[in-house]
Structures are given as C-alpha cells and as structure tokens.
A and B are shown apart, each in its own frame.
Chain A
Amino acid sequence: MQQLTTRMKEFKRSPISGLLFALVHLAAAVTVFVLLFLIFYILYHGIPNLTLPGLFAWEYDSKNVSMMPAIINTVIMTVLSLAMAVPLGIFSAIYLVEYSRKGNKLVKVIRITAETLSGIPSIVYGLFGYILFVITLGWGYTLLSGAITLAIMILPLIIRTTEEALIAVPDSFREGSFGLGAGKLRTVFKIVLPSAVPGILAGVILAIGRIVGESAALIFTAGTNPAVPDSLFASTRTLSVHMYALLSEGLYTPQAYATAVVLLVVVIGINALSGAVAKKLSSKR
C-alpha cells in the first residue's frame, strides 16, 4: 500500500511515467484477454456440438461428416513427417554444433538456408510440394507428398531447438568423455545427446503442434479425401484440412465448431507438454 502511494507521487511528478505504466499493463491485459476470449468462445460454442450424432464415427459420409478419419490421418501424417524430419534435424544440429569449425563456409550457408526455410510461408511449401510431387513426379494427392512437404517445413525448427539443446550441454561433459578415452562419435551419442534429450523433445513437441495445425501446405499435396489411407499413395485430410473443407462447403458450421474444439484442446495439450518438458530441463540444471 505504501509502495503504491509513493508510486502515485512519482506519477504526479512525471505524468509520462504514469501513462507508460498504464499502457504496458493495458497491452498485457489486451493480449491475455484476446487469448482467453478466443479459447472460451470456441469452447462455449463448440462443446455442445461434440455430441452431434456420428461425429466420431469410424467412417466418413456426407451425413455424419465424421472427424474420426481426419484424426487418424493427423496421427499418421505426424508420425511420418517426424520420422523424416527428426533424424535429419538432429544430425544436422550435431554437425553444426559438434563437428563444424568456426568460420566454416558450409556452416554459414547451412545456417542461412535453414533460416530461409523457416521464413517461407506454408502456402509456398504447399505449392512447391504440388509442383514437385503431384505434377512432376505424377504421384497425385498423396499422404507421402504431404508428409515430405511437412518434413521440410519443420526441419528448421528441429535443427534450431536441437542446436540450442546441444550448445547447453557443458563442455566438461565432452572433456570428461574424451579423457576416459572415448572417441568423438561415442561421446556424441552416449554423453552429449542423452543430456540434450529434454531440449530436443521440447522442440519435437512444438513441431507436432505445427503439423497438427497446418492446412495451407497440405491442401494441394495430400488433398482432402476424408478416408483413412490404405497406402502411402492415397489422398488424406488431416484435422485442420478437415475443418477448412467443412468451412468452405459452408453447410457444417456446428461440426466446424466441434472440430475447432478438438484442435484447440490438442494444441493446448501439446503446449503444456512442451512446457513441462522444458521445465524439467531447467530444473535439472
């Protein structure tokens, strides 16, 4: 209380301080309000729609517009993209952190291109995937086209988070391992990587979030077929694409609300998980 009165005195002497004080609080309040409003708006309007008949039926048809196949497809798409991007990303980061020497030209180019990749909009990825896989290779709209496109898209994210996790491993770990006679490879795999796992995992979880939320890159690569694929070369739609399809048909607003709820819950879960993993990392140190 006393603190407050001294502050008020200060603001009287310097009104601009009072104004700035009010503005920063207002800005933070607005930001939080927008987030909470969005979440509660979607939940409030969406949750009653979750009980629509057949919304979670195993088979999709135009009557029940079930989102179950889309949910299964999302899982398949996520696993496939991660299977490609995670090893590549981790190996890239190992090269950048453990093997490259300072001032290496190749490393510079790799960093610039990784940064470029992370700035490319998802629609451009989608179009690229369309030109390469759908047209040039003649695959058509397929699960594989979508998964490869997404893998390229999340690669820079995996590289960056893994790099940060590897850099955070103290050099004494490496020196200790070398001192005991281990080679470079053994040091990397047995000492450095295990201690960097939480950081890498937090990055992978963020990447899952991006895959689940992606729609623009998938519409023209994986297509919008609402069935569970029977091969890598079948067309699929993930949950986000499903929602876009519902909205562009314009007839299924209640179902779109329900889909938004599921997407939102998944994203909130993913973010919480990533946060928890990252916290584990910082508490260990």
Chain B
Amino acid sequence: MRKYSEKAMELVFMASATVSIIAVAVICIFLFSKGAPAIFEIGVLDFLGGTVWKPLEGQFGIFPMIVGSIYVTAGAIILGVPVAILCAVFMAKFCSDRLYRFLKPAIDLLAGIPSIVYGFFGLMVVVPMVREFFGGSGKSILTASILLAIMILPTIIGVTESAIRAVPESYYEGALALGATHERSVFFTTLPAAKSGVLAGVVLGIGRAIGETMAVVMIAGNQATLPNGLTSGIRTMTANIVLEMGYASDGIHRNALIATAVVLFVFILIINLSLSLLKRRDD
C-alpha cells in the first residue's frame, strides 16, 4: 500500500515538473502557428525589412519597430550598465553592513515597482525633463532609454553583486599584498574574475529592456516610422502589439501583430541561449 502511494506521488511530482515543458511548447506552438503564416503571407522580407506600417492599407513592415526596440534597449544598456556595475561593486566591496541592510531592500524594491508606475513616473517627470533640455515633444528614444535604464538597474545589480561575491577572497588579498589600493584590487582583480557573471547580468538586463511594454508605450511616442535622432519618437515591437491588438480586426492585421510577437520571441530566445552559454562557461 505504502509502496503504491510512494510511486503515485513520485509520478504526481514528475507530472507537475513537466508543466514547464508543456507551457513552453504550447506557447511556441500557438504563437508560431498564428504568426508564421502571416509572415509568409506578407513576405518575409516585406515584413522584416519593410519600413511602412499601415495596417489599413495592407502594408505591414515592422523594420521601424525592430529598430525602435534595439535603439531603446541599447540606450538603456549604455546608460544603465555603468551605474549598475559600479553600484554592485559598492554593495559587495565598499559599503558597511549597516548601509547594506538599507541598500539591499532598496534595490529589491526598485525591482518590485510595477512597470505601469514606472511608465506614469516617466510620463510625469522624465518626459517634461527631456522636453525642457533637448526639445521636441519629450516622448522619444532618449526618454525611453532613461526610464528603461532605471528599470533594469536592479536586475543587473543583483546578478553582478553575487558574481563579485563568488570570486575567491584570495584574489583580492593577493592584490592588496602586492601593494595595490583597495580600489585597484577590486577593479583590476576581483571584477575581471567576475566578468562572465557580470555579462550574464547585462544580457538579462537586455532581455528585460527589450520585453518591457507598459512603461515604454507611455513615453516613447509610438510613431511607427524610422527615427532621425535621439529626440524623435519611436515605437517598439512590444508597443506595437499593445497599441493595436485592442482594435485589430480578425485576419491579417491581428496575425501581423502576433507575428511581431514571434519576432520578439525569437529575440528573447537568442538572449536566453546566450545566457545559458555564459552560465555553462562559468561552470
């Protein structure tokens, strides 16, 4: 009797564990089965390389949106990564225990704030700021980059900090013993030794930035055209979906939006793949 219940529960545990596999499979199947035919119907090159998005006139080129996603993500990385890495170094190697007890929950809170609140904050604070200093409407690549940089800070800080802490203390002590200052020891021995962990944090940050939707849609301007500068508005792939899914009629328009999600999904898969490659190199 006991033998049976043992075996049965093991099967239940195993079945639960396979839900993740099923979920990924079902998500892939549904997205690709709706999106892929649309891509082929529009034409792969016309869809990915077309610069005109006019759903009502049957033109579905998402090149501006791909460019938009890449621009705001790159901007967020350029602005956010240096601050995040330096902040992680501070938390791991510079700050006192007492300060850490305040800093760590603060970073966690930064990660917990809903993206809609970030978007609202961006709309009320960052947009007017950019309008004031750089001109234009304020809803621009730059605005989205600044806000996304803030949003990816906790992700990169968390991963980087634990990567730095995982470096053996002997590296740091060795450098100190050779006469290097605390700063030199940390930045020229400990940090380089943690570089694959740091890189993993950055890649994770890229994934968060490119997938962010609600914050970006409120502050990026959402013009589906190629941008001509940092202060011109842009529409990301995620924004494209949110903006038009609500009113897209059945058929090619809706499927083109799903196809946009497929392209985004492929980006995410590539990011995930590079992440697991980085982790494997770490082990």
Contact = CB atoms under 8 A, between A and B. Distances in A.
Interface of A: 10-11, 14, 16-18, 20-21, 23-28, 30-32, 34-35, 38, 41-42, 45, 87-88, 91-92, 94-96, 98-99, 106, 109-110, 112-117, 119-125, 127-128, 130-132, 136, 152, 155-156, 159, 183-185, 206, 209, 212-216, 219-220, 240, 243-244, 247, 256, 260, 263-264, 267-268, 270-272, 274-275
Contacts of A260: 117, 120
B90 A28 contact: yes
Given A121-B211, A122-B211, A267-B113, A115 B13 contact: no
B187 A213 contact: no
Interface in B89-146: 89-91, 94-95, 103, 105-110, 112-121, 123-125
Given A16-B184, A213-B113, A271-B108, A121 B238 contact: yes
24 contacts: A27-B83, A27-B85, A30-B83, A31-B83, A34-B110, A38-B113, A92-B17, A95-B13, A95-B16, A96-B17, A115-B276, A117-B24, A119-B268, A121-B212, A128-B26, A136-B30, A152-B23, A185-B6, A213-B116, A214-B114, A216-B238, A244-B116, A247-B218, A264-B117
Contacts of A132: 26, 30
Given A32-B106, A275-B108, A91 B17 contact: yes
A105 B84 CA distance: 36
Given A152-B23, A275-B105, A264 B113 contact: yes
B208 to A, nearest CB: 8
A216 B214 contact: yes
Contacts of B150: 34
10 closest A-B pairs by beta carbon, nearest first, are: A121-B211, A213-B114, A27-B86, A91-B16, A95-B13, A17-B183, A92-B17, A24-B90, A95-B17, A17-B181
Task: Tell which of B20, B186, B213 has the most Cβ of chain A within 10 Å.
Answer: B20
B203 to A, nearest CB: 10
Contacts, number: 241
Contacts of A119: 204, 207, 211, 268, 271-272, 275
A97 B7 CA distance: 17
A106 to B, nearest CB: 8
B256 interface: no
B107 A31 contact: yes
Interface string B265-277: 1001101100110
A87 to B, nearest CB: 7
Contacts of B258: 127, 131
B19 A155 contact: yes
Contacts of A21: 94, 183
B9 interface: yes
Given A95-B16, A115-B272, A128 B87 contact: no
Interface string B1-29: 01001100110111011111101101100
Interface in B55-69: none
A116 B116 CA distance: 24
Given A106-B17, A132-B30, A136-B30, 13 more contacts: A24-B87, A27-B90, A88-B16, A91-B16, A106-B18, A112-B276, A119-B275, A123-B211, A124-B264, A124-B265, A127-B261, A128-B30, A270-B112
Task: Tell which of A14, A125, A216, A268 has the most Cβ of chain B within 10 Å.
Answer: A216
B163 interface: no
B109 A271 contact: yes
B82 interface: yes
B241 interface: yes
A132 to B, nearest CB: 5
A128 B84 CA distance: 32
Nearest to A34: B150
Contact of B23 (A24, A32, A155, A220): A155
Contact of A121 (B14, B123, B210): B210
Task: Tell which of A32, A115, A131, A132 has the most Cβ of chain B within 10 Å.
Answer: A131
A155 B20 contact: yes
Contacts of B183: 14, 16-18, 20-21
Contact of A25 (B82, B94, B117): B94
A51 B257 CA distance: 41
Contacts of A10: 181
A274 B82 CA distance: 29
Contacts of B106: 31-32, 35
B182 interface: yes
A140 to B, nearest CB: 14
Contacts of B16: 87-88, 91-92, 95
A260 B115 CA distance: 11
Contacts of A117: 20, 23-24
Interface string B167-208: 000000000000001111011000000000000000010010
B34 interface: yes
Nearest to A275: B105
Contact of B20 (A38, A124, A127, A159): A159
